[in-house]
Chain A
C-alpha cells in the first residue's frame, strides 16, 4: 500500500524523503500541499500534523512529520538491508550527527540568509548571516575530508538530506560552492548514485532556484 506524502517539490526536506523512498523501493502517493495557499492549515491536515508543516507522511494511518525522522523510518521499516542507515551504533551516530547538522546548521543558516528576501521582503542580504552560512559550508567541506560520503564510505540518508539542501543552495546561487571543491565533487558523486535523481530532487531544486531567483532580482544593488 503506497504511503501518502504531503509535499511540495521545491521543498528540500520533502525531496530528501522522495529520494529515500525511491532508494528504499517504497511507493509514494504524492499529494501536493501548497503551503502558500494554506492547504496545510485545513483541519484534515492539522489532524495529521498539528505543526502543519511539510513533509508529512500517512502510512496507513501512521502520521509522521520531520523529514529526517521520516527518512530514518522508511529505512528502518522497509529497506531490504541497513546500507542507507547502518545499524552499527558508531556509524549510525555519525549519520545522525550529519542529519542534525543539516537541520540545525547547514540548511538553517541558508534559510537565515535567503528567507528574509524570499518571504519577508528584505531588500538586502544580511552580510553576517552570509558569513555564518560560509562557516557551515566550511564544516561540510571538513566532514567530506573525513569520509568519501557525508558520514561514512558509502551513501546514506545523511547524504540524501544534505544533497537535498546543497542542491537547493546551488540552484539559488550558482557560485556558492566555488570555494568548496569537496562539496562539489561529493554532489556529483551522489547525483550519479541517487535513483531517478531528476524526478526525486533535481527538478524540485530548480523550482526552488527559480522562486529564489525572482526574489533575488529585486535586491538593491550593492
Chain B
C-alpha cells in the first residue's frame, strides 16, 4: 500500500508533511520534484496534480495537495490516536486556527519578504514587508505567552507546520527570533519531541537557508 510524496526538501510545507508522517508512523515513498528545473510542469506530474505544487501526496491513487490538508489526512486516517490532531471540536478548532495562521499570515509574510529577494532579483530590503513579517512573528510570540505548544498543552500538527516554517525563517536569518523569546523556547521544546527532527527538517531548512543567505549577500 504505497504512499508517494512528491516533494522538495528545502520546502517548509513539504517538511511539515515529512515530520507528520514520521510521528504518525506512516511510511512514505519520497519522490523529488525539482521546482527550479521545472519538473512540476512535466505532463506526468500535471496529470496527478493540475495545480503543480509540492507537497503532493498520492495514497494509492488518492491525491491530496496542500501540506496542512495532507497532515490532517495522515492523522485522521492513520493515527493510532488523535493526539496530533484532537477530535474534540474546540481543541481541533484551535489547531485549525494555527494552521490557517501559518498559511495566511506567518509563512505568508515571510514568503512576501523572501520571494522577491531569492527569486525575482530584488537587491534591496522592503521595509514594509519586513514590518508585516515582524507583526506575524509577534502574533505567534503572543499565542505562545500562556501555552507551551502552538495550540494547547501538547504537540500537534499545528506545531509541526509552524516549526517547518519557523526553522526555515531561522535558517534564512539566524538571529530572527532574538526579539521573540517565546518562539525560541518553543522551538527547543518541540525539537526534543519530534522524531528524526534533524534529518526530516533541519537538513532541508539549511538548504533553503544557504540559498537564501547567498541571495541576501547581494543586497546593498
Q: Does A103 contact B (CB under 8 A)?
A: yes
- Total interface residues on B, CB under 8 Å, equals 30
Q: A50-B139, A97-B65, A103-B104 are in contact. Are A92 and B96 (CB under 8 A)?
A: no
Whether, in the assembled complex, B80 has its beta carbon less than 8 Å from a beta carbon of chain A, the answer is no
Q: What mask results when residues 60 to 77 of chain B are scored 1 for a CB within 8 Å of chain A, else 0?
A: 001011101110110011
Q: In the docked arrangement, what's the CA distance between A218 and B28, Å? A: 53
Q: Are A96 and B100 in contact (CB under 8 A)?
A: no
A-B contacts at CB below 8 angstroms, number:
84
Kindly state whether residue B45 has any CB partner on chain A within 8 Å.
Answer: no
A94 touches B89 (CB 8 A): no
Does any Cβ of A come within 8 Å of B50's Cβ? yes
- The answer to whether B143 and A66 have CB atoms under 8 Å apart is no
With A51-B105, A64-B94 as known contacts, state yes or no: A93 contacts B70, CB within 8 Å: yes
One digit per residue, 1 when the CB lies within 8 angstroms of any chain B CB and 0 when it does not, for chain A 50-76 equals 110000000000101110111011001
Q: Check B89 against A93 for contact (C-beta < 8 Å).
A: no
Take A89-B77, A92-B73, A96-B69 as given contacts and tell me if A64 and B142 are in contact as well, using a CB distance cutoff of 8 Å: no
CB of B219 within 8 Å of the partner chain: no
Which of B139-197 touch A at CB < 8 Å? Answer: 139, 142-143
Q: How far is the CB of A67 from chain B (nearest CB, A)?
A: 8
Which residues on B are within 8 Å of A, measured CB to CB? Answer: 50-51, 62, 64-66, 68-70, 72-73, 76-77, 89-90, 92-94, 96-97, 99-101, 103-105, 108, 139, 142-143
Known contacts A93-B64, A142-B50: A100-B93 contact under CB 8 Å: no
- A38 interface residue per 8 A CB criterion: no
Interface check A101, CB cutoff 8 A = yes
> Closest B-chain residue to A59, C-beta based?
B90
**5 A-B pairs in the complex with CB atoms less than 8 angstroms apart:** A76-B89, A94-B64, A104-B108, A105-B51, A139-B51
- Inter-subunit contact A65/B97 (CB<8 Å): yes
Residue among A69, A70, A76 with most chain B CB within 10 A:
A69
Could you say which residues of chain A place their CB within 8 Å of the CB of B73?
89-90, 92-93, 96
Least CB separation from B95: chain A residue: A69
Nearest chain A residue, comparing its CB with the CB of B145: A50
Closest B residue to A75 by CB, please name it: B89
Instruction: Kindly identify which residue among B50, B100, B108 contacts A66, using a CB–CB cutoff of 8 Å.
Output: B100
Nearest A residue to B71 by beta-carbon distance?
Answer: A96
Beta-carbon contact of B50 and A97 below 8 Å: no
A101 touches B66 (CB 8 A): yes
In the complex formed, the residue of B with least CB distance to A92 is: B76
For the complex formed, measure the closest distance between the CB of B205 and the CB atoms of chain A, giving whole angstroms. 21
Considering the complex, give the chain B residue whose CB is closest to the CB of A90: B62
